[in-house]
Structure 1
């Protein structure tokens, strides 16, 4: 693979625009509200595209391609079961509470609904989650740069070890994101996310088109893969008959209800984008606007992974040529060992730091599914188009990093620093703290990037983190918003119980091909799951259930807040949002019905 001048030009222009947006917006960052909340003045369609783009980080673009290669079309359930219904629910039912409460963050809403200790617990766990999520994006970007051998010649000329390219790439990506967030805050992140959304679509649509054309269309793809990979509903009656190893309960409850709804309804990373709008109606439309392109993204991000695993696996070949003069020429085409031991164009995984091969528990080569989409770009894209495709990947990585960093600096400043360390300071002081929190978040993310090395699918890594944080939190929000009897003591005890249940489940279980450690089983192994994802889904179910049960029990024996303090925070005590002043097609309810109709039609078509 060789990048030409036009490829470099496309990528450099993108980086120039990204950093330029930060410098252009710096002069508008006069208050903490400007920096953390974008002044609550951005239009709904801008925030809607940012809402989905913030989710289009490495875990989406790279992780969904990796999951497509590893689990097949069953990955599409992350959109159908795990996203669209939850995005509609948060827009129609939950956004009025978030926006109407005037809370600046999700942990601050928990303080208003419950108490300070509940807020503190969620602020700390959420901060940890954003750091891990941002680190995953850094890891993915560094792997891509390492794969392209971008800095190989520079390291050789300086006599630096090639193993340092991975760390150098992580630091480089961190500096770029740090610059435009430090200067322009949330507004800079949102405008860059809109740009990144457009680039991702432009870069991946040609990849799907060329890939399907080359493999013989949809029928050719089906003929190249086992039947279980090409049917999203295959084997959900029994976990052992589908690649993901998840049955209908694990998929419906674990992904659809707990992890999916838990992410879209409680994760401040995406909620923050909706709260940057100027009014309630706009905030409610943001998740619904985002749901429209979300329905079509499986086509862009999952299919490349399916094609990558379906292509023939390259092997070292020897061709014998007999010359006219009787000479015999042996032409040997050598294929690297990690590619020969892979499947399709998905290679075996090498540790990016040590350069040594990684093996499963049974001693077989560990497939590097995260490289499915990048290898597709290198396999199909010519000069120029390759630059656009690589820029799309880089844009997705930085979108995920920036989204998590802006959420981290807001929660740290408002919910940790201001609440517990320095309550009486000027607005300018908090603006400064927010900028330095950005630096701290970036530095912590660099450290967590190395944890992702142990996984061969970053989506597995991310869902593991979500099962610890979002899954128990969703039980707290459901009870808090729809049962006025829920108390602060109950919510806090439930969060402790839910997070502890997730940790205990992870410590006692292990995927079949994994070794004890970061994959689980660090206490002892009492149960094996067919895959990391199956373990994540059931861990989320246990975390949610433990939180729900403990919250109900403790709430029944403790004193709740009076009704007067719960107006605007609990469904039964909150007036329904007025939408009579809007034309019917602008009302969130009408948009939600239209999305549901299209969603059901697409589900029937692809089933």
Structure 2
């Protein structure tokens, strides 16, 4: 472990923590609104950065670089095409949530269907977070930092042992940050990390181009654009990890679920001062996602020119940082990766606590007529988050035995939970006639069908297309049940005053510009552009 890199790493981390603490010290956590929603006072910059770094963790750095190195830039579609989904969420879904006074996305299902559907989806969310989302965040952060600092060499242990050490360290740090800091301090950290991320991306690209250009970055850039051009292609064929047609089928559904119904994401947008700030924040997040190919995939393209063969392709990003950048920059980038992982982990824990307290624990206390106050709920949330963190710490190292293509594995695992929930939410928005029993049947049918097609039967069909087929089949099933057993319409009171619901006046032309840039990126990274 290089001493200068370690000093740089610690200096950046300490500075971010110190500024975050000083900025948020006036916002003391006195109730669940303060812990879970930052008292609903976040600016658009805080919302935008919070949304971006909820999505960005070490998995983006590792997975994006690995995918570009072993194949091409087709996986950039996950981030770039999400802009279209975010535009839809900003325009149509967020006003519904704010108008209904929604705290968690399952709250909508209680309003639309019944409390049983809300409880079922809350349980699915919590299971998904503890066995999938939280462990993945810890694992990818551990892999990245172990690769940059050679933790396994420092402690004279195996590679797996180094991963375990880093998982434990990051789990404790992230859990403490969430339990003691709440959403406000995490949001401030995200703004600082956003500035550092773009600086780190510029540094890594510059030194990477210098390396492959033998000391001349312009020569390296020329080499990048003229050799191994097949890696610059983002228009995937049927054999690629992301076929281009998949963007319009399963990927669109996953992105709509993630940005429109995923509790960790929605909770950041609901913490805004009003609808206008929420929509501005989502637009800012879109800008970050459009920069994703240059931040997360360009290092993999540089690695194609720097390394002819790598036995562990998930090590592409940390090896590139360690080998090609000066120690101070290496420590700086490591701090960004660590910070992104910690804030993502903290927000996922915070959202887990939100779901547990507001959807399970508080209703249980009310149902059994037990006395409670905000202090009781805060204590219970912190205990639950501690347990969730411990479970994630235990499961995270086991991911090392999963798929060789980590990014694809991660997306497949996420789809197990996402599409069943999104389908039920979609039908709930679409019609008022489908009854609660249809929602429950839909969740079970969709989840079972996906697991069977991925782990039991070999269909030979890309999982994105399977997701689209299951979405259509589940929607049809729910609509058929609704025809035979329609639900009686129920009028619900509107809980939110109109001043919160004034939309952003310039959103239409900004959203049009964002979608245009999205299309331009696909043209740029295609055979009609740089890959031609």
What TM-score comes out, normalization by structure 2 length?
Answer: 0.88
Question: Which of 167, 172, 189 is residue 192 of structure 1 equivalent to?
Answer: 189
Gapped regions of structure 2 (runs ≥ 5):
213-218, 527-532
State the partner residue of 2:272: 277
Maintained 8 Å contact 1:50/1:194: yes
User: Does the residue aligned with 2:491 lie in a helix, a strand or coil?
Assistant: helix
Question: Which of 482, 488, 501 is residue 555 of structure 1 equivalent to?
Answer: 482
Query: Structure 2 CA distance, aligned partners of 1:445 and 1:395?
Result: 18
State the partner residue of 2:216: none
In the TM superposition, residue 567 of structure 1 has moved relative to its aligned partner by: 6.7
Query: Structure 1 CA distance, aligned partners of 2:441 and 2:319?
Result: 47
State the partner residue of 2:143: 143
Maintained 8 Å contact 2:30/2:374: no
State the partner residue of 2:383: 436
State the partner residue of 1:493: 441
In the TM superposition, residue 267 of structure 1 has moved relative to its aligned partner by: 0.9
State the partner residue of 1:340: none
Maintained 8 Å contact 1:36/1:406: yes
In the TM superposition, residue 259 of structure 1 has moved relative to its aligned partner by: 1.6
Q: Deviations over 1:391-415 (max 9, x none)?
A: 1222222232122111111111111
Compute the RMSD of aligned alpha carbons: 2.8
State the partner residue of 1:209: 206
Q: Deviations over 1:341-379 (max 9, x none)?
A: xx2xxx32xxxxxxxxxxxxxxxxxxx222111111012
Query: Structure 2 CA distance, aligned partners of 1:596 and 1:153?
Result: 46
User: Does the residue aligned with 2:73 lie in a helix, a strand or coil?
Assistant: helix
Q: Deviations over 1:295-324 (max 9, x none)?
A: 1121111111122133343xxxxxxxxxxx
User: Does the residue aligned with 2:352 lie in a helix, a strand or coil?
Assistant: helix
State the partner residue of 1:85: 84
State the partner residue of 1:109: 108
State the partner residue of 2:429: 481
Query: Structure 2 CA distance, aligned partners of 1:254 and 1:551?
Result: 19
State the partner residue of 2:235: 233
Query: Structure 2 CA distance, aligned partners of 1:213 and 1:165?
Result: 31
Against the structure 1 CA distance between its residues 196 and 153, is the aligned structure 2 distance closer, same or farther, given a 3 Å change threshold? same
Gapped regions of structure 1 (runs ≥ 5):
314-342, 349-367, 510-525, 570-574
What TM-score comes out, normalization by structure 1 length?
Answer: 0.78
In the TM superposition, residue 93 of structure 1 has moved relative to its aligned partner by: 0.6
Query: Structure 2 CA distance, aligned partners of 1:10 and 1:563?
Result: 59
Q: Deviations over 1:405-434 (max 9, x none)?
A: 111111111112223466542121111111
State the partner residue of 1:390: 334
State the partner residue of 1:60: 60
Q: Establish whether residue 265 from structure 1 lines up as the match of residue 260 from structure 2.
A: yes
In the TM superposition, residue 577 of structure 1 has moved relative to its aligned partner by: 9.0
Q: Establish whether residue 174 from structure 1 lines up as the match of residue 177 from structure 2.
A: no
Maintained 8 Å contact 1:48/1:287: yes
In the TM superposition, residue 162 of structure 1 has moved relative to its aligned partner by: 7.5
Question: Which of 454, 458, 462 is residue 506 of structure 1 equivalent to?
Answer: 454
Query: Structure 2 CA distance, aligned partners of 1:605 and 1:377?
Result: 26
User: Does the residue aligned with 2:380 lie in a helix, a strand or coil?
Assistant: helix
Q: Establish whether residue 292 from structure 1 lines up as the match of residue 287 from structure 2.
A: yes
Q: Establish whether residue 458 from structure 1 lines up as the match of residue 406 from structure 2.
A: yes
Query: Could you say which structure has the larger radius of gyration?
Result: 1
User: Does the residue aligned with 2:71 lie in a helix, a strand or coil?
Assistant: helix
Maintained 8 Å contact 2:38/2:184: yes
Against the structure 1 CA distance between its residues 210 and 15, is the aligned structure 2 distance closer, same or farther, given a 3 Å change threshold? closer
Q: Deviations over 1:78-129 (max 9, x none)?
A: 2333x11001010011001112211211112211221112111211111122
Maintained 8 Å contact 1:136/1:458: no
